[in-house]
Structure formats: structure tokens, C-alpha cells
Structure 1
Amino acid sequence: MSELHVISTGKQSLEELTSIIRDIHTYIDWLHLREKTWTSEQLKQAIDDLAEAGIPRSKVIVNTDADTAYEKMTGGVQLTYESMDAANARHLNIHWRIGCSVHSVQEAVKAEANGADYVLYGHVFASGSKPGMEPRGLENLRHAVRSASVPVIAIGGIAPENVHDVLDTGASGVAVLSGILLADNPVDAVQRYKKALTAG
């Protein structure tokens, strides 16, 4: 089954994010907390609040802050290519799923060699979060999939309408931010993504 990763947008309050995730978490495989302006204490509070709302800690992936992920017993960590240190993260928790964000085929291969369990590759299509930046496109995604043996998750401009094309490259799933979390109806949006992934 292709995976659906949902990544926090950095544009919502903890209360709003928790409310949405409470409604959609049964449809998603992983929730990434990528909140660059939050302190570690805010991040810890978020994980606790999400757990109290019924979202399993095992479904949460924390971006970059491995110490917080360890303390709060989340399911994994997401590292940047520049800070990729899977060995150290694995030392904290051998059961973690460790991901790495990459932007080229070479970075995908290097991340795998450095111990990543999967990579987020993008941005594949034009994305509002990357204004003016040329997307990598489907052929580069296909090359990354063929070059790395770990799962490659596509990110950037992913919509239900292009999920089929993404999966056709061999990608193992998609990662979505605003397409779900900033949708007028997040439940309807996540269901459309899930249907597209299931249809494959």
C-alpha cells in the first residue's frame, strides 16, 4: 500500500492542527511535525496534545529534533540532508523510522548510504511553498526511485489528480502539506488522496 505522509504547514496554531489531525489521522500513515519556529517545549506539548486527542505517538515523525522525538517516544525522525546523522539517531532508538529530505538523485543515494530508511524527494511539481523554484519533475523522481533501494516519497505540488503519475514512477507514496491541512474540508481532501493512492 502506498503511503500518505502529512506534514504540518507552519501556518496553523497547535489547536487548529490538533483539531484537523484528530479528524483525519485514520486516513494517513505518518504525521510529520515540521514547525521551524516552535521551541522544543512547544513541540513536546504538541506531541502530548496530539496523543491526548487519540493520535498514536507511533504515527508521529519529528523533524530534526531527535532528542524531543526520543523523549516523547514518537515513531521516527525526519532529518535534512545537511544534518543527516542516522547512526546517531538510530543510537537513540533502534526502532525509529528515519527519513531524509533530498533534492537530487545523488542526495537520495547518499542518504540511503548514510542509513536513511526512506527519503522525501522533491519538489516534484510547482509548489506554493517553493515559489520561483524549478520543480524536479517526474523523470528525475523516476531516476531517484531507480537509484535508491529505500522507499522514495514524493513531495511538492502533489494533488489527487497527479498521484497516479507519481506512483507510476515507482514512488512509494506522497507527502502533502497545504493540500490537506489548508483545504476547506480536510476530511474530504484526505479521502480523495487516499482514494487516489489506493487506485494507484
Structure 2
Amino acid sequence: MTWHLITTNNCPFHIQVRQLRHALKNIDIVHIRDKEASLQRLKQQIDQLCKIGLRRERIVLNEHAEAAAAWDLGGVHLPSNSSLTAKDVKNKAPNLQVGASVHNLEEAKARAEEGVDYLYYGHIYPSASKPDVPPRGTAALQSVVQSVRIPVLAIGGITRDRLGEISRTGASGIALISGFWEAEKPEEEAIQFNRFGQMNYETT
């Protein structure tokens, strides 16, 4: 069981670093996603995270596979509209973990067949970032989980009181944005999300 924290454009990056400083021990992977940033700016963000103790193998970079390999990061994540495939990436950087975002069962099967290491599937619950798109729900999540042989992480509207329901779908993990960054005490939320998948988990 694992959970990924995705960076946000709704908060200055130096503030994110400050919030992360004491939460890192309870976060498995930090996913750097800033589609407007230059490679130079992304490198600066990664360097800031490394300075507070985040190891490079725990960093995933959105879309920029060559940069992720050059900077010795743990992986690259392909958006749903990316033209890259896992085979493209691994031919050049066999040590990179490759994830991909999918929004339906057909996409999930196709990405799994091409060799990605894990999937983000969502959005599962209503999401402020996609107000005009109906949530896909836990039944659809469970269907994807049961149809592929790679880890599936739920994304979209994830909150601590929904962890038990997500765990029962068989999902291997969760990916979060607002559930962490908009929390009153992000460090405490990280502790709760890190309990995802524990057999004795109780929602509070």
C-alpha cells in the first residue's frame, strides 16, 4: 500500500516545501506536477525538496521522462493525453518507474498492456478541479483493480473518512492533492493517509 502526494499550483512552492518538511516521513512518493514550469524551475523545485531530506528515488516527475532519468529520480508519470508509452520511456531509461493516469477501463487495460508500473484512476469522488465531470465512483475503481495486474491508485476527492471505502476496492494506494494541501494541519493528515490499507484502520 502506498500513497502519492501531488504538488499544487494553488500554493507557492516555498510554502509547500515548508508544509512538507515535517510530513515527509509519512509520505511515500512526492509527485512534482507543474505543467507551466520550465525544466529549470522544475529542477529548482526538486533541489528544494532534496534539501529538506526527500530522497530522489521518492520523487516522481510529471511527463518529463528524459529529465527524470537525467536527475536520477524514482519515476515519471504520464498524463492521460501523453503520446509517450512505457516502452518509449524504458527503452531509454530502464530504471525509471513509469505511471500513467487513466479515466476508464479501456485506457487502464491499454496502459497496463504497454508495461506501465502503476495507474492513477479517477476521479473517484466529486473534485473541485473537475466540477463539470461526474465522479467515477468506487464500483468503477474496483472494476479497474480487478481487470489489471498492476497497482491502481485512487485519485480525486480523497479524504481520510473515505479511506476505508477505497481500501475495500482492493486499490493499492491513493494519490492526493487538496486532501493534503488544503488541510488545516497537513502533517497530521499525512499520518492518517499513511495508515491507508492497515487491516485495523478505523475512520475518524
Does TM, scored on the shorter chain, surpass 0.5?
yes
Corresponding position of 1:61: 60
What SS does the aligned partner of 2:194 have?
Answer: helix
What SS does the aligned partner of 1:188 have?
Answer: helix
Per-residue CA deviations over 1:157-195 (Å, capped at 9, x if unaligned) read 111111111110110011110111221211011112223
Task: Give the alignment's Cα RMSD to 1 decimal.
Answer: 1.3
Superposition pairs of residues 1-200 of structure 1, within 5 angstroms: 2-83=1-82, 84-198=84-198, 199-200=200-201
Provide structure 1 residue ranges, at least 5 long, that are not aligned to the other structure: none
Deviation at 1:91, TM superposition (A): 2.4
TM-score normalised by structure 2 residue count? 0.93
Report the identity percentage.
33
Amino acid across the alignment from 1:15: H
Amino acid across the alignment from 1:81: S
Provide structure 2 residue ranges, at least 5 long, that are not aligned to the other structure: none
Q: Which has the higher helix share?
A: 1
TM-score normalised by structure 1 residue count? 0.95
Native 8 Å contact 2:124 2:154 kept in 1: yes
What SS does the aligned partner of 2:120 have?
Answer: strand
Per-residue CA deviations over 1:89-143 (Å, capped at 9, x if unaligned) read 1123212111000000111110011111000000001111111210000110010
Once residues 25 and 158 of structure 1 are traced to their aligned partners in structure 2, the CA distance between those partners, rounded to angstroms, is 19
Native 8 Å contact 1:160 1:192 kept in 2: yes
- Residues 22 and 91 from structure 1, CA distance in 2 versus in 1: closer, same or farther, beyond 3 angstroms? farther
Amino acid across the alignment from 2:138: L
